[in-house]
Structure 1
Amino acid sequence: MDALSLLLERRSQPRLSGPAPEGEALENIKQAALRAPDHAALTPWQFIVCQGKGRERLGNIFEQSAIENGKTDKEIERAPQLPLRAPMVIVAIAKYHENPKVPRVEQIASAGCAVMAMQMAAQAQGFNGIWRTGAYAQCEVVRNALNLAEDDELVGFLYLGTPVTSAPTPAKKAADEFFSHWS
């Protein structure tokens, strides 16, 4: 798949099974993340690759979060199962580095670009995934369990694996609704 087709046909895939990327495919995904735009070469990222028992560990963190945040019994029961929806989950964290030329928001955007690069690299190699955020990405219990500093940001969870079905092709959007031109 050429790069332009990859970008224009990109779509998230929530239904995933094994195998997960491994070996050279996983290394390509990691390297794609490290090529994200990075003003001042701060490398403001940290990634945690969760597989096997690692997904269970992440699920236990979600369960503890649900308990400590007073979620319903159903939500508490569901929480540890969430990371098991894919054979791999990559936790993406923006690690803030104080720098007068690179504001925090730009460093978070850089980490976000790294997540998209990982998903595109996965898709280019026959895998796919979905980038999830939600309450667990904003939760202090989760942040503390992952040892985030106060200025760090949990950018999300990239679920990766082999697509079970074809994702529906989204309707093409009218670019003029989102772009204006100054001449």
Structure 2
Amino acid sequence: MAVNTALRDYLLTRRSVGLGFLNEPGPSQAELETILTIATRVPDHGKITPWRLVVYAGEARALVGERLAAIAQKRFPTYDDASLDVERKRFLPAPLTIGVISRPQEHPKVPELEQVLSAGNVAFNLIHAAYAHGYAASWITRWFAFDQEAASMLGAKEGEQFVGFVHIGTPSVTPEERPRPDLTSVVSYYEG
């Protein structure tokens, strides 16, 4: 197999772009279909599809924000108007957000952790697919992924858990590189 230098170079330089810097335009419907197809090409031991996706686009983003603010007002009674406004804008300005849900299933050969990791791979593949189409993305998990009422409002069903929300849009900035771990501090070689 030949070296794919473009893919290698992309993986060596990939950076998330913060939600506040993801603007219109977002993917077209045809691009979104391809992005979703790429996202779901992940390791899935047992072919049990232990995940699913929820797309938030268009006016649904503002509706989600209003509902998040209402739940936040109950959960965090000390929130002022500015804090509630932050909740209203959680899925803005990015033109598209995709929620990735882990839905582990009973399986004699596939432990739950492996299924959750498969869902995490879907989220990361969404990022790669967005960049492959000329967009940028950011994988974010906030309080509402872990709050049962909020997660339900966002589309999670009984026994399901969000692993994150991938926001996709056109970047308005070029992200700066950040420090990465020195390989000698995170890699070891097994010697028996």
Same fold (TM over 0.5): yes
Give the TM-score band, short-chain normalised. over 0.9
> How does 1:103-182 map onto structure 2 within 5 Å?
103-182=111-190
Which deviates more, 26-35 or 155-164? Answer: 26-35
2:13 to 9, 30, 41: 9
> Within the alignment, does 1:29 sit opposite 2:22 as a pair?
no
Amino acid corresponding to residue 8 of structure 2 in structure 1: L
> How does 1:49-64 map onto structure 2 within 5 Å?
49-64=55-70
Does the CA-based 8 Å contact 2:64-2:154 persist in structure 1? no
Q: CA deviation at 1:106?
A: 1.3
Q: CA deviation at 1:28?
A: 2.0
- Structure 1's consecutive aligned runs of 4 or more residues displaced over 3 angstroms after TM superposition are none
Please report the TM-score for the alignment, with normalisation by the length of structure 1: 0.92
Gaps of 5+ in 2: none
Q: CA deviation at 1:62?
A: 1.5
CA displacement, residues 133-158 of structure 1 (integer Å, 9 cap, x when unaligned): 02111111212213534431111111
Does the CA-based 8 Å contact 2:66-2:88 persist in structure 1? yes
Larger radius of gyration: 2
Counterparts in 2 of 1:134 and 1:152: CA distance versus 1, 3 Å: same
Please report the TM-score for the alignment, with normalisation by the length of structure 2: 0.88
> How does 1:56-95 map onto structure 2 within 5 Å?
56-71=62-77, 72-73=79-80, 74-95=82-103
Q: CA deviation at 1:110?
A: 0.5
Rounded Cα–Cα distance in structure 2 between residues aligned with 1:6 and 1:64: 40
**Aligned pair count?**
183
Does the CA-based 8 Å contact 2:54-2:155 persist in structure 1? no
Q: Percent identity?
A: 31
Q: Compute the RMSD of aligned alpha carbons.
A: 1.6
Counterparts in 2 of 1:148 and 1:172: CA distance versus 1, 3 Å: closer
Rounded Cα–Cα distance in structure 2 between residues aligned with 1:125 and 1:25: 7
